[in-house]
A and B are shown apart, each in its own frame.
Chain A
């Protein structure tokens, strides 16, 4: 069996915070077009993995390769920084601090387009901003608003649109819907499933919610105290967990009431 080319891979990833080993020898690869979930109890190192992948935290050891290029050391120069931004994006958990309170939605997205789509003129950018707004289901009035006038779910839609504006190949979703009401969660998850179909973007999904994991990803890794304790196809791992720890996780996690409108990333 030949391995498909990975869009994102990490090898021997490790992060120490002083004496604490937050991430320990983590390996995984997301094939082009595929999506991977990281599950694990709070404090198991999931967010640290995500932050290292997007360059917010520097690995103590190990390699991170996205789109065939190493990103385990800080970007050198503006061009490389911008290129990395165009490869992997992230949507954070907290919808209330992830947008600049002074910036209207259109301005926030336009700023990203100026950086990543420098060839577009003002009219083309305006059209693209509208397109992205439509894609994430924001209306004209919401697009003109500042974050303070938007609900948590609307803000996460903005954060998703802003991430998409960079046309990334991978979006890291770190508990991106966990702070939202269950019914809003379902809407945003449906949106993410649609986005994946529409753009072919890969997700690295971090979630407590195994129902969400099942619907959005094909592969899953289970982390405990910084290490991967189980891995495999999402359905197999969740249906028939081998590790006692994963069994416990499955038993302890309530399933959300989310029903997908259509199958994500059909292939």
Chain B
């Protein structure tokens, strides 16, 4: 089968999901340039006015162009989960590899710490972080990263242990290569399929959680455009029969989350059934 090398074996659906993610990333990077209007320009005379002209999605309760806010809001909607993924994958992979490599006491102690962290739901940790460090995307993302890290570490520890048991690793040890070199050059690259797959799935979870955190007012702060903020901000409109703002932002979240989850599942399947 043909396809993009990194996506081999994920099928047409996998490629479609990846396309959705690429579009989301482009919008996140260039959203303000792409948006037809100023996302924050308020004109109350346009409050809840429906689609018309180049205002494809109409206006929100404050008379702001919904499409522009969607495009601009993609940045924080994508950046937050990205921070979560990078942080928790880096720390989780490091702990997983160290536990698998060192075994013994380090493995046992790290398992206990991870178990304790497991007990904290991400949202709860984010609420605490907001209380301590103030509400905002950064605190919320770091809190989620900490909450998700144990899942990542646990899944990857198993993979690291399997890889550690391969004889090529022993051969490299006998050669006299330093342990961290073996891990960085050989062990982790051989787990990368699973790392990417887990990171992709995590991205979806983090996106939903961050939207929820923004929804309850502890994440991205209004009036800044953000998909989670928009779902929340559209509530008054929803009650008055103007669902465009909440619906469009919610739909954007759902489409991206489904795309990353489906792709993540397929990548995981591929990594698990991988050659060896």
Contacts and interface: CB of A to CB of B under 8 A. Distances in A.
A82 B176 contact: yes
Interface in A75-105: 75, 78, 81-86, 88-90, 92, 94, 96-103
A100 B175 contact: no
B174 A55 contact: yes
Contacts of A132: none
A126 B178 CA distance: 23
B6 to A, nearest CB: 14
B171 interface: yes
Nearest to A83: B176
Contacts of B185: 111
B167 interface: yes
A100 B169 CA distance: 8
A205 interface: no
Interface string A192-227: 000000000000000000000000000000000000
A1 interface: no
A85 B186 CA distance: 18
A101 B175 contact: no
A92 B177 CA distance: 18
A115 B173 contact: no
Nearest to A98: B167
A133 B175 CA distance: 18
A56 interface: yes
A102 B189 contact: yes
B275 interface: yes
Interface in A32-57: 54-56
10 contacts: A83-B176, A85-B177, A88-B174, A92-B170, A96-B276, A97-B276, A102-B190, A111-B185, A162-B171, A163-B171
Given A148-B275, A159-B171, A100 B190 contact: yes
A85 B178 CA distance: 11
Interface extent on A, as a size class?
Answer: 20 to 34
Interface residues of B, number: 18
A94 B167 contact: yes
A174 to B, nearest CB: 10
A206 B260 CA distance: 51
A12 B172 CA distance: 28
Contact of B175 (A85, A102, A103, A148): A85
DSSP majority for the B interface? helix
Interface of B: 166-168, 170-178, 185-186, 189-190, 275-276
Nearest to A80: B176
A162 B174 CA distance: 11
A201 to B, nearest CB: 15
Contacts of B175: 85, 89, 112, 115-116, 162, 166
Given A55-B174, A115-B176, A99 B275 contact: no
A81 B175 CA distance: 8
Contacts of B173: 55-56
B178 A101 contact: no
A56 B169 CA distance: 11
Given A97-B168, A100-B186, A78 B174 contact: no
Nearest to A112: B175
Contacts of A166: 175-176
Contacts of A83: 176
A148 B166 CA distance: 15
Contacts of B174: 54-56, 85, 88-90
Contact of A92 (B167, B186, B275, B276): B167
A96 B190 CA distance: 15
B176 A100 contact: no
Contacts of A96: 276
B178 A78 contact: yes
A98 B168 contact: yes
A56 B176 contact: no
B133 to A, nearest CB: 41
Contacts of A92: 167, 170-171
Contacts of B171: 90, 92, 98, 159, 162-163
